[in-house]
Chain A
Amino acid sequence: MNKSDIPQGTLDLLILKVAALGPIHGYAIAQRLQQVSRDVLQVQQGSLYPALHRLENKGFLAAEWRESDTGREAKFYRLTAKGKRQLKEEEANWGRLAEAVGLVLKLSGSEGV
């Protein structure tokens, strides 16, 4: 299976989805994305952070520093109420888009081009 780059804008949706499961720090988000997508989605791990900070500044994520398993303070992200609404909306959008793309693909397939 080929590895794919993440389409533009989708990273935000994925981050929100992962964060929805409970407070989580950056490294764990990166791991989670990789695992869940069974290594299909390749994120340059560094590029996760600007996205995280953007979502935080927009108020979709809230961050707090607390002690982690390593014994040091780490920054944990948590989905806010505003973020939840955003996630719902983006999920719906994505679903519609995927459906539409699927339809188009099926259509071209049946014509047997």
Chain B
Amino acid sequence: MNWLRRLVEKKRLEMQLQTELQDHLERQAADYLRDGLSEAEALRHARLKFGGVEGVKEDCRDARRTRWVESTLQDARFAARTLRKSPGFALAAIGTLALGIGANTAIFSVINGVILRALPYTDPERLVAVEERLRTGENFAFSYPDFLDVQRASRSFVGIAAYRWSGVNVTSPGEPAYIHSQQVSAGFLSVLGIKPFLGREFRQQEDQRNAAPVAMIGYALWQERFGARPKAIGATLVAGGKGYTVVGVLPANFRFNGDSQMLTPIGQNDTVATQKRDMYSGIEAVARLNPGVTLERANSELKAIGSRLAREYPDTNSRMTFGAEPLKRQVIGDIGPTLFLLAGAVGLVLLIACANVANLFLARSLSRTREFSIRAALGAGRGRMLRQLLTESILLGLIGGVGGVLLATAGTGWALHHLPDWLPRTQDIVVDSRVLLFAVAISVITGIVFGLVPALRQRFDLETGLRQGSRGTSRGVRRLQSSFVVTELALALVLLTGSGLMMRTILRLWSVNPGFDPHNLLTMTVTLSPKVLNSPAQMRTGWEQVLERVRNTPGVQAAALDSLLPLSGSTQSVAYWASAETTVPKSAPTAWAYSPTTGYLETMKVPLLRGRFFTEQDRLGSQPVVVIDETLAKRVFPGKDPVGSSLSIQLLGRVRIVGVAGAIKHLSLDEDAFGPRQPALYVPFLQFPDEFMPLTINGMNLLVRTSSSPLSIVNAVKRSVLGPTRDQPVRDVATMEQIMSDSMARRRGMLFLLAIFAGLALALASIGIYSVISYATSRRVQEVGVRMALGARPQQVLRLFMKQGLRMVLIGVVAGIAASFALMRLLVKLLYGVSPADPITFSAVALLLCVIACAAIYVPARRAAQVDPMIALRYE
């Protein structure tokens, strides 16, 4: 009979055991009876010879090896009964634990989704991101001819595919709307090991210039625009004014480089974006390593290809090389340390929760002394009773864990919806079996941690227990409670300090001068009518007309178009050099490349330091001009006036400098913390050669300086953009202040969570100190009564308890400051303009903690001081 059956069929086994032993005794007695003994004697002898029947039964039960389960179940039932009898205690403990475990489960589910879980592709650990890089290490996007060469030459990969993000307006079937789309190589899905939900992926011959336009569509788009009909395969989708034949539908949960609802073959892109070897316009590559090929081998092969291309195309490739890294590392980025910091913070919250519940248990253990003494007197062993206590605390831990998982699920769902976008892979953050396992493990460990100390402290000895009854106070218990509270306060202070430093950082960042005026500045992305997209000249006119209409909109002070929006996270840079060489020198530095229309400086309120900005006269055919920023001026023309000099710019050639503008922040408000600033240059959009015009198909950034609140004129601006043909929708409407705020998304997310955790910690620690003081006062009611009867004033009683509490607070604060001092160094990468040992933050949070803790002490202390001595003396 197997183990499980023995456990389940316990009742039957018991009956059989009884019958078997009875049978033995009867046979023995019968034998004795035959030997001539009397019936009573026979039975007595039989029993004697057999030994203790109950003992034998116990031994037989042990032989089943199911005992521990049975007694654990018994303990759990008893524990549940005990907890039901003190619902206040149980609720307080469970609530505290649910918060602690919930916060930890939530953060773990994030770490699990973002870092631990495999990417949702086949054999994802064999997938690598292949990158084109400067020889100095900086990652670039691929140039398409370079990608094709790498694709042809490399032997390390099963397959390699390029992808390039692009947005497009879909006009039919269904309502016109903007969607995210990507241009990808043939074989892109095979590299990822994903099969289309319907149809097929692109063929090699479709991934070429002048092939018939084909598209794969996203599952959601298929549902919305094609009513989920299989006939969608072969149907036509009109996007960007072009008709695409649908050849495949992507699986429902397919995500790569964001959620794109349309894929087109990248080889069909015949714009300058894919034709020039020195044009790096957002193309990236993913590849699957051949079996047996290591990342190192792939990297050395890529490097060799890089060197070969540099020899073959010295004009464009002398500075470039290629490399690969695991795809997962590219997707995750550098979020890891931040998440682990949060895990640490949330661990502290759980410790505080444990200390609180341990304190509750300690207080209760005193009142249970009598219960355990009686059980000891009845023969229960110490180990058995310890186990009983631990079962109780683990049961509490598990119930708290259930609450925690519910809280975590609701909390992460809410937070992912409402927090700024600061995490990769958010769609992978779900409560899966690993998260549940974590929650169960952490609940059990928590139960053991907060249960063990009080359980070991529990007095099981008979005489002190019975003599003392429920009234005695134990010095040891009080000291233990105080040290728990001190620890809680110290940990809470650490979390408060962390969020204080983050808050100071964000305030600092807000006060950083970005070099332009972000107030009353509206931004949006504008696309042109599909009707003009086939002619560069018409596109240019189209953009000019949009600008003209927007400038004439009431409430608009100034407006400009630009291909690049500072602080938005997108970048665009070119190499520049002072000499007249026509090819890019190997050592040429790079600058941010903006290509705005006229009115840009005026709209952004970037100061013009020298010379002039572009005018309507700076257009195609006139002298090519550039405006540089002061960083570039200082670097290339130190001590001289650069206006009138010439500069060489990659892709554009030799241009004349006509003005110098103030420097602005490009990547982030804290970018100067990461080394010397990269300079910037502005080339006139209207001087863009025809071949560059298609680069604006995905849209241009419209900047609008408004006289009043920027959001109030959004609709007016939208109408102006829409145009007479009413087919120029806008998207990504935001104020510049929102964009700045989003550029701090990670820090804001961190601040938000740290602040929640610190608030939780502060609340728990306050409850902790409150309950310890209340407990102390309730234990000393009689003493207080005597003191007051002997003439002590309420003031003195109040002082007595306040003093007891304040000592804990002071020790806690000192310990907390010391711990923060050591731990805040971990935050250093997230801080800006504030030292991890910032005295202002440290004193402010210490003060905050003191004030709140004092309030928590004052309430019970005052209650004790106001007690009526007569009632106090009668109190039992």
Contact B1 A49 (CB under 8 A): no
Q: Does B26 count as interface, using CB distance less than 8 angstroms?
A: yes
Give every chain B residue within 8 A of A9 (Cβ-Cβ): none
Among B6, B28, B49, B56, which residue has its beta carbon within 8 angstroms of that of A49?
Answer: B56
* Count of interface residues, chain B, beta-carbon cutoff 8 Å: 24
Cα distance A93–B197 in the bound complex, in angstroms = 66
Contact A50 B62 (CB under 8 A): yes
Contact B51 A70 (CB under 8 A): no
Contact B24 A30 (CB under 8 A): yes
Least CB distance from A53 to B in Å reads 4
Given A44-B51, A45-B49, A49-B60, decide whether A26 and B20 contact each other with a Cβ distance below 8 A. yes
Using a Cβ cutoff of 8 Å, how many contacts connect chains A and B? Answer: 60
Q: Does B53 count as interface, using CB distance less than 8 angstroms?
A: yes
Cα distance A35–B56 in the bound complex, in angstroms = 23
Q: Does B36 count as interface, using CB distance less than 8 angstroms?
A: no
Contact B64 A50 (CB under 8 A): no
Least CB distance from B343 to A in Å reads 45
Give every chain B residue within 8 A of A70 (Cβ-Cβ): 23, 26-27
Give every chain A residue within 8 A of B6 (Cβ-Cβ): 57
Given A73-B19, A74-B23, A75-B20, decide whether A47 and B59 contact each other with a Cβ distance below 8 A. yes
Least CB distance from A64 to B in Å reads 11
Given A45-B50, A45-B51, A49-B20, decide whether A57 and B59 contact each other with a Cβ distance below 8 A. no
Contact B63 A27 (CB under 8 A): no
Given A57-B6, A75-B16, decide whether A45 and B63 contact each other with a Cβ distance below 8 A. no
Q: Does A17 count as interface, using CB distance less than 8 angstroms?
A: no
Interface residues of B in 27-57 (CB under 8 A from A): 27-28, 49-53, 55-56
Contact B23 A49 (CB under 8 A): no
Give every chain A residue within 8 A of B62 (Cβ-Cβ): 50
Given A54-B63, A57-B64, A75-B16, decide whether A46 and B51 contact each other with a Cβ distance below 8 A. yes
Interface residues of B in 548-587 (CB under 8 A from A): none
Closest to B58 in A: A50
Contact B23 A27 (CB under 8 A): yes
Given A45-B51, A57-B6, decide whether A50 and B59 contact each other with a Cβ distance below 8 A. yes
Among B1, B56, B65, which residue has its beta carbon within 8 angstroms of that of A46?
Answer: B56
Give every chain B residue within 8 A of A27 (Cβ-Cβ): 23-24, 27-28
Q: Does B636 count as interface, using CB distance less than 8 angstroms?
A: no
Among A25, A46, A72, A73, which residue has its beta carbon within 8 angstroms of that of B53?
Answer: A46
Contact A46 B26 (CB under 8 A): no
Give every chain B residue within 8 A of A49 (Cβ-Cβ): 20-21, 24, 56, 59-60
Interface-central residue, A30, A56, A57, A65, by most chain B CB under 10 Å: A57
Cα distance A65–B28 in the bound complex, in angstroms = 19
Interface-central residue, A26, A46, A47, A68, by most chain B CB under 10 Å: A46
Cα distance A56–B17 in the bound complex, in angstroms = 13
Contact A26 B56 (CB under 8 A): no
Closest to A69 in B: B27
Least CB distance from A106 to B in Å reads 38
Residues 1-19 of A, flagged 1 when their CB comes within 8 A of B and 0 if not, give 0000000000000000000
Contact A45 B24 (CB under 8 A): yes
Contact B52 A53 (CB under 8 A): no
Cα distance A103–B59 in the bound complex, in angstroms = 37
Cα distance A26–B23 in the bound complex, in angstroms = 9
Cα distance A72–B24 in the bound complex, in angstroms = 12
Least CB distance from A28 to B in Å reads 8
Least CB distance from A4 to B in Å reads 17
Least CB distance from A19 to B in Å reads 15
Given A45-B50, A46-B52, A46-B56, decide whether A53 and B24 contact each other with a Cβ distance below 8 A. no
Contact A50 B56 (CB under 8 A): yes
Cα distance A47–B24 in the bound complex, in angstroms = 12
Give every chain B residue within 8 A of A53 (Cβ-Cβ): 60, 63-64
Given A57-B1, A57-B6, decide whether A47 and B56 contact each other with a Cβ distance below 8 A. yes
Cα distance A57–B56 in the bound complex, in angstroms = 16
Among A45, A50, A68, A72, which residue has its beta carbon within 8 angstroms of that of B60?
Answer: A50
Cα distance A11–B311 in the bound complex, in angstroms = 87
Least CB distance from A18 to B in Å reads 15
Contact A26 B51 (CB under 8 A): no
Interface residues of A in 54-113 (CB under 8 A from B): 54, 56-57, 65, 68, 70, 72-75
Closest to A29 in B: B24
Give every chain A residue within 8 A of B56 (Cβ-Cβ): 46-47, 49-50
Contact B50 A46 (CB under 8 A): yes
Give every chain B residue within 8 A of A74 (Cβ-Cβ): 20, 23
Cα distance A26–B16 in the bound complex, in angstroms = 13
Contact B63 A26 (CB under 8 A): no
Least CB distance from B21 to A in Å reads 7
Closest to B23 in A: A74
Given A27-B28, A53-B64, decide whether A47 and B23 contact each other with a Cβ distance below 8 A. no
Give every chain A residue within 8 A of B55 (Cβ-Cβ): 46
Give every chain A residue within 8 A of B65 (Cβ-Cβ): 57
Cα distance A35–B60 in the bound complex, in angstroms = 25
Least CB distance from A56 to B in Å reads 8
Interface-central residue, B21, B51, B62, by most chain A CB under 10 Å: B51
Cα distance A74–B51 in the bound complex, in angstroms = 20
Give every chain A residue within 8 A of B19 (Cβ-Cβ): 73, 75
Residues 3-23 of B, flagged 1 when their CB comes within 8 A of A and 0 if not, give 000100000000010011101
Closest to B55 in A: A46
Cα distance A74–B25 in the bound complex, in angstroms = 12
Least CB distance from A74 to B in Å reads 5
Least CB distance from A100 to B in Å reads 31
Interface-central residue, B20, B55, B60, by most chain A CB under 10 Å: B20
Give every chain A residue within 8 A of B16 (Cβ-Cβ): 65, 75
Closest to B16 in A: A75
Closest to A25 in B: B23
Closest to B28 in A: A27
Cα distance A93–B465 in the bound complex, in angstroms = 54
Give every chain B residue within 8 A of A46 (Cβ-Cβ): 21, 50-53, 55-56
Cα distance A27–B20 in the bound complex, in angstroms = 9
Closest to B30 in A: A70
Give every chain B residue within 8 A of A47 (Cβ-Cβ): 51, 56, 59
Cα distance A72–B30 in the bound complex, in angstroms = 14
Give every chain A residue within 8 A of B49 (Cβ-Cβ): 45
Interface-central residue, A25, A27, A47, A73, by most chain B CB under 10 Å: A27
Give every chain A residue within 8 A of B27 (Cβ-Cβ): 27, 70
Cα distance A57–B26 in the bound complex, in angstroms = 25
Least CB distance from B24 to A in Å reads 5
Least CB distance from A69 to B in Å reads 9
Residues of A within 8 A of B (CB): 25-27, 30, 44-47, 49-50, 53-54, 56-57, 65, 68, 70, 72-75
19 contacts between A and B (CB under 8 A): A26-B20, A26-B23, A27-B27, A30-B24, A44-B51, A45-B24, A45-B49, A45-B50, A46-B21, A46-B55, A46-B56, A47-B51, A49-B21, A50-B56, A50-B60, A53-B64, A57-B65, A75-B16, A75-B19
The 9 A-B residue pairs whose C-beta atoms are closest, nearest first, are A46-B51, A50-B59, A46-B56, A53-B63, A27-B27, A54-B63, A27-B24, A44-B51, A46-B50
Q: A49-B24, A70-B23 known; 6 other A-B pairs, CB under 8 Å? A: A44-B50, A45-B49, A46-B56, A50-B59, A70-B27, A74-B23
